[in-house]
Chains A and B, each alone.
Chain A
Amino acid sequence: MSLAPITLEAHSLVRQFGRHSAVRGVSLELRRGEVLGLLGHNGAGKSTTLQMLSGVLQPHSGRIEICGFDLARQPEQAKSCVGFLPETPPLYRDMRVEAYLTFTAGLRRVPRGRIAGALAETLRRCGLQDVRGKIIGTLSKGYQQRVGIAQAIIHNPEVVILDEPTIGLDPAQLRDIRALIRELGDTRSVILSTHLLGEVENICDRVEIMHEGRLIYGDTSVRMKAFGNGEMKLEDIYIEITQTHAGQEDAP
């Protein structure tokens, strides 16, 4: 596993909104064939970090490298290697699923001759064949979420960034999407943020816990489970880690 090439590398990312520091010096590394889960409370800086990694937001300082391309210096090459699903799926609600995905494929520089093939493959992977001709605005939330995931993977990117990808899905859809993410993680790199600890347990190889803009804990998910001598539930471990950290911060 450690021999797999690094696909995404971030060095000391810092991002402020006015006086508020949303992200304070986050560094992380992602290898091919790895699914990294970013855990944290609301407002911990997860979404901001993912937005910076996908090139939507510029970091105030720090450097991001994707597939060897510097995101600030060679944004177009770097972004061709990334698929991004933001917290709110970026859907044009008046478009049909097929037309929308064709548009996003073109936007992500899939050669014209290969778009039809990529579209068919993505529709199949995301279970969207039955709704391909429907207008996105009329779809249920679960299907909209799937269309959101579909636009992030249609160009078969090296790095897939998913911000809370399983939100609003029913249990059956949840299972399908988790299987899809796992499948993506075998050949690509996936980084996802989540509140759901079950998700981490099921699909992530590695976990990073984020708290107040910093990464406070990072390990493989197997070892995180062993954190409390194997007796604690993952939920308790997570709370223990974040609280311990908060306690350290308060101490003089």
Chain B
Amino acid sequence: MIRLIALKELRSLFHAPSTWYILGGMQLVLGWLFLALISQFMSEQTQLALNPYLKGATEEIVPWFFREIVSPLLMVVTPIFAMRLMTDERRNQTLALLLSAPVSSAGIVLGKFAGLLTFLWLVILFVAAMNLTLNIGTEMDIGLLLSNVAGLLLLAAANGSLALYISSLTAQPLAAAIAAEAALLGPWLIERNAFDRYRFWQDIAPSGHFHHFNSGLLDSGDAIYYLVFTVFFLTLAIRRLDNTRIYG
């Protein structure tokens, strides 16, 4: 049942022209910036070669690309793809179809989440493939790339669950998108600019737990944080749907 709902969500995402515009635009921007990073590395290569603490191409390009470009961009687009998940059901009064079907609220929410997550993970895999092209010109540090991808997959799950929950609160997609942007980008901006003595924000914001993955460190603590965060907001979304049955 979860699979059925997930496939339906994926299908309606890919049926909307805007999805393709955003995906195309994203790939273009990412490709362009990736190319810029490579060309910068190439021009600095001779200087870098003199440095005894020499960094390789992977270390120079991949972490920065994931931290400064891919993860923020993903934060911006997640609410756009998530905003319709629940709002449309309320607005078009199709929720009755799901609520009268032999599916639990958890089944409905998990189905929608699985659809969104598959989509976001697909985007991340494309980014990973783009980074993998470095392998053509140099010997890559695949481990560093994998840890970045793993971190990003988890971050996307956390962001997606929060955006899905916010989408379940209203019948207006735009309101859901704006609220989710604020909820995702706000903590990120604060965490990014917080000094070490404000560790609190790094602990709290999802993006704060990406740093270890970003530097090639697989920290189970961070993974557990993402898991708990995701489960927490999915539970809230399920509760919200149950409340629709109770309060009308």
By a beta-carbon cutoff of 8 Å, the part of chain A in contact with chain B is: 17, 51, 54-58, 75-77, 79-80, 82, 84, 86, 88, 90-95, 99, 103-104, 106-109, 151
Counted as pairs of residues, one from A and one from B, with CB atoms less than 8 Å apart, the total is 69
Interface residues of B in 71-104 (CB under 8 A from A): 92-104
Most buried by A among B11, B16, B99, B103: B99
**Contact yes or no, A55 B15, CB < 8 A:** no
Q: How far is the CA of A241 from the CA of B4 in the complex (A)?
A: 48
A57: chain B residues at CB < 8 Å are 245, 248
**Contact yes or no, B4 A103, CB < 8 A:** yes
Interface string of B229-248 (1 = CB under 8 A from A): 00000000000000001101
Q: How far is the CA of A103 from the CA of B245 in the complex (A)?
A: 22
**Contact yes or no, A93 B97, CB < 8 A:** no
Q: A55-B100, A75-B102, A107-B1 are in contact. Are A90 and B246 (CB under 8 A)?
A: no
**Contact yes or no, B246 A58, CB < 8 A:** yes
Interface size, B (range): 20 to 34
11 contacts between A and B (CB under 8 A): A54-B96, A55-B245, A58-B245, A84-B96, A90-B97, A106-B4, A107-B1, A107-B98, A107-B102, A108-B101, A151-B97
Q: How far is the CA of A208 from the CA of B248 in the complex (A)?
A: 24
Please name the 3 residue pairs, one residue from A and one from B, whose CB atoms are nearest each other, closest first. A90-B97, A79-B102, A84-B100
**Contact yes or no, B12 A79, CB < 8 A:** no
**Contact yes or no, B1 A56, CB < 8 A:** no
**Contact yes or no, B96 A103, CB < 8 A:** no
Q: How far is the CA of A138 from the CA of B70 in the complex (A)?
A: 39
Measured CB to CB, the closest approach of chain A to B3, in angstroms, equals: 9
Besides A91-B92, A107-B5, 17 new A-B residue pairs in contact (Cβ under 8 A), listed by A number: A51-B96, A57-B248, A76-B102, A76-B103, A80-B102, A84-B96, A86-B93, A90-B92, A92-B8, A92-B12, A92-B92, A93-B92, A94-B12, A94-B15, A95-B12, A107-B97, A107-B101
